[in-house]
A and B are shown apart, each in its own frame.
Chain A
Amino acid sequence: MPVFNQSRSRVIQFIFAGVFIAITGQLINLQLFSSKYKLAADNNAFYRKVIYPDRGIVFDRKKRGILENTISYDLVVIPSEARGTDTATLCRLLNIDTAVYKKRMRDLIFKNTSVKPSVFEALLTPEMFAKLNENMYRFPGFSLNERSVRTYPYNVGAAILGYMAEVDTGFLRRHRDDGYEMGDYFGSTGLESTYEKVLMGQRGIKRFIRDNKGRLQGSWENGAYDTAAVAGNNLYSSIDVELQQLGEKLMENKVGSIVAIDPKTGGILCMVSAPTYNPNYLTGNQRKKHLVEMLYFDPRLPLLNRTLGTFYSPGSTFKTMVGIIGMNEGVIDDQFTVSCGGAYYGCGRPMGCHAKGTFTLKPAISKSCNSYFAATYRRILENPKYPNRDSALNSFNQYAYSFGLGRRLGVDLPSEKMGNIPTPKYYHGIFGKNWQSCNIISNSIGQGEIATSLTQLANVMAIIANKGWYYTPHLIDSIEGGDQFGLLDKFRVKHKTKEIPEYIWEEVHEGMQGTMEFGTGFYAKVPGINVCGKTGTVENAYRGEKLKDHAFFGAFAPRENPRIAIAVMCENAGYGATSAAPIASLLIEKYLKDSVSGNDRKAKIEQLANMNLIPPQMKRQMVKRDSLRQAQQLAAAKKAARDTSGVEEAPEETDTDSSVTPNKPQPAKKGTKKDTANKVALLPEEQRKNNTKRKTAA
């Protein structure tokens, strides 16, 4: 019997071979042709941890750090290990109650599982850290993780240094190849934003192996494939932090701005936008609250950089340019005189004037005579050299452009505004083809359609100081380790105005020096220094309501060898000589002499700092906001007592109008007010509820 079944041995062997081949085939399929398994395995097992390098430090011109890093601590918890925690003590230290603790814990477990570490409380204050650190043994499962945050040691320069923000989807889409991830922070405004590439450094990546529950098992291949984090490069700025401090102090309780430039290099010495805020407000764990507060609830718009994010009519400071252009075009000379009897009548409607008398250019600048420059401007426009007014105005505009007006200067800060130099085409739209020089005569004294940012104005002062050239104003002089991205190249290019002979500049300098000695800037004299300056007073209105004039002052010093060119502007401060000019004079003295000397000068600082020049319309809005908020806080407090879980997101705070535009500050909406009113009206009822609740709880 066995013999005749022997062939079946072969069949069995074939079956073995067949199954073996089938298995091999599937192995080839899995191991050689399916990359997805390898990918899935890596997704399973690797935990990619991004190591954030320290961001670069920003130094001022004397190598003092004005934007540095410091260590802050996060309270981190692994919920599954936090069972034996002394919850009551922890809540007491964190100033939260148990319900909040439980809610947060629930949220963390939901978001990040209970075996992985999650941040329970981010960016602890130093006191909180100290208190927690002593008691950590009571909180198993909790730990304190350090992380690097930005700090501003001098508490100044918020508008120029900028702050960091968490990336959003829009940012990620725009910077797809730059390696940002959800949860990262990036420089959102100011220098932080402009020099993001330099400051951020190079992030390192560590690869860890993790197990099936997401717990880390140690590094992959002992870190052979890890990349080290490279710290960001430091920036050396031209800012003088003491000057900046003084500037911010002087601008307290005012709305306006200061820009001071070193005319030789174009380096910005100080740049103040008032009202400002302590930049450290936007670093800690209260960041969001402060940001919302300033962004939506402060009618003074502290986040707006008024040095280049807004533009104004430059006022009389513009007259210097009109004079220079007039001289250079040959329509006036140093002998040209205009008599002013209190107003300019050349265009029918009289244009008021501060000074009476007969003027040549120099005293006209010193005394800021409107009639003189109106006459000059008309002569420029009706210059027989040009076939018509259009081309004359074009020629005038070419001068203006070469002075850096009507164009973005290219300052190394984001959101710079262009200002406005009106073109003939623009006037065609308003007055028709045959517009007259009288139509636009306001431009001659820096009113009308001409608009410049304060940085542009300061740059004009630098050009006059340099007698015809400038470097683009900038904050950063050099980058540690070299300028790899070519960010500073444009600041090394010397820009020249149209060819203007030396004697014209001398004439204007003379006039501007006169301003300080016997003219409109007399109160701003700096003892022992020849300052050349020009005041400006700009009429303005808000929603048809005539407001106090904006005060302007532009200057440079010393005349012989200019080291600082400065422009100061105070919104609605009235006559330029009482606020803007003395501020500029103090800053010039501070910069050139390294300190302000003399008791009366020092007293002047305090006097100016205490001078409250907040425009009345803003004051009204602030009062309105404050009373609204009081009502809200009352309502929120009542609500909090009722529902502890909603403390942070009290809805009254967040559902206000978010479309507040910078130009038309608007406080909270009417709807909000109504809402609050309802809450207040409900109060007795709430209280009763609370009482009953408490009773049941007891």
Chain B
Amino acid sequence: MGFIFTIKATVKNLLARKGRTFLTMLGIIIGVAGVIIIISLGAGAQSLVLGQVNKLGTNLLSIQPGKSDTNGPPAQVYGIIITTLVEEDAQALRAQLPHALAVNALVRGIGSVTWQNKTVDTNFLGTDSSYPDVVDFTMNSGAFMNEAEANSGANVVVLGKTVADSLFNGTGVDPIGQVIKVRVNSADTKNQSLGVPLRVVGVVNKRGSAFFQDQDDQIYVPLSIGQNQLLGIHYLQVINLKVDNADNIDQTIEDATRVLKQRHHILTDENIDFTVRNQATAIGLLTTITDALSLFLTSMAAISLIVGGIGILNIMLVTVAERTREIGLRKAVGAKNGDIMKQFLLESGILTALGGIIGIVVGVVLSYLMAVLMKFLGFDWDFVISLWSVVLAVSVSILTGVVFGLYPSYKASKLDPIEALRYE
């Protein structure tokens, strides 16, 4: 019996029962689409997370005050303020670490900025001029504060795009050269300062959000302004280190730890009062989590494929029973057992292959729509369809068709033609 001819006849047969064919395939369609969507979402989420990490800068180490378990949260999470990390530490690190391209000291706070009669709340970052060396961004206009301005604590400020827009949009005034007032939001109203007047020297281009924080809703001031005039502290909250090469990260962690231990007069590891964190470790952790989640969800989708396969099994059994007379007739006109077996196997195989193809289309379209939605929501989301997810989904679905089609086909092939012809 010609193979092409059989396929044609089978497809014709399936088309003659469109409703049932579609319902039978539905389980497979959902399963295949599920596998593809989940794998695509997993890949998208991973690229998002990695992109966010990269946005913060690659080969980055961060040193925070307070000892913490390497994988646990920093001490600040518990509300403990540790004041031992100071600017001299940053200077020492700058001088003594051979692989550090840049060492950047940071303090942060929440405040508000005022220009003329407009006031907006924002975050401020007190930092030195090395900040652009550690984090990747570009300037929209003007320049980031230079070394002289930063070191002398000049009254200058660099605005994030959101802040610049909310203050100056529509006024036609160029922010550069304008003087704004910055003050810290404090619950203590008696201590409310009038604000520190600062001259705008630059506006940063849009950076987007990283880890759900708007990187554009912030301003950058010299470290000493942030420490002394805004926050009233003498210590640092973070030191960021840019390492020249990924291979030197471990060495630099070791070096930084040694330098800081020496400076803080610490003899034993138990007494360490700072934490050096590696972003690569964080990436690895995040990748592991998203991989595990993807695997879990993919296996759920695979289970739905098996349920779809059981649907196929049921319908094939019904089909065989319904077509008993036809099977009898085919045998009477010369069909061998193998021919009948082949016919029904082919039918369930085509059913699942077709379901698989529709499932791929549905899965790809839905994944694409989700990627569009994510982009619309402002995430840097990539639309990724991996070939292996398609191959996996289709091969599992065809395998399902063959495995679950086997028993009904076998049953059909073993029918006694005389009994089958008499079947009512």
Q: Answer yes or no: do A and B interact.
A: no
**Interfacial residues, chain B to chain A (CB-CB below 8 A):** none
